[in-house]
Amino acid sequence: MVADLAQHLSAGRVGRPHGLDGGFHVTRPRPGVFAAGLAVTVDGRETTVRRCGGTAERPVLALEGVASRAAAEALRGADLWVARSALPPLDEDEWWAEDLEGCAVTDGPVAVGTVRRLMGLPACDVLEVDRPGGPDLLVPLVHDAIRAVDTDARRIDVDLAFLGETAPERDEGEAAGDGGQPGEEA
């Protein structure tokens, strides 16, 4: 584990050994992250990638200080942590999955649920939203479905009508503070 999780992201996990010199396959890799010389933290210690092979989707790494098949096997299952500052910058409408997980999901002022995880599907990424007392909701990461994402406030505003859903009923306190008819400006 790393000291400051807010400044690091998991880039994958140590998988089965590859060869005799300490190389290993990476499971659950974050594509395009690994390169020779990259600083990583594994099993509580910082080291660097001494060799990177395979493909972006199926990388094979060798780390400084891991020089045998037995040493690679001893790390099997450990997370590979990378500093956010070492990762490529994100575009304006891009987020790391970790930054969206746990965010409150609302439709305007009405609570919908909480993001359980971000899933990559063939057509687009979707948010899996846990709705208390109801079925999970899948929200595609498209502009029509998502009005706003505020990772600092840990809030995502979605358009349930676009998703073919109706907003959950407001409680009495929310309805009393409404002050107008639907569609009217207050």
Domain ranges of the chain: 5-85, 97-176
Residue 137: pLDDT above 90?
yes
What span, in angstroms and rounded, lies between the C-alpha atoms of 121 and 104?
Answer: 22
pLDDT in tens, 47-84: 999 999 998 889 999 999 999 999 999 999 999 999 98
Top-level CATH class of 97-176?
mainly beta
- Going from the C-alpha of 133 to that of each of 35, 47, 112, 168, the distances in angstroms are 45, 46, 11, 11
Region of poorest pLDDT, from 6-10, 153-157, 181-185: 181-185
Region of poorest pLDDT, from 54-63, 89-98, 154-163: 89-98
- 171 — pLDDT class (breaks 50, 70, 90): low
Model-level pTM?
0.66
Domain 5-85, CATH = 2.40.30.60
Phi, psi of 172, rounded to the nearest 5 degrees: -55, -40
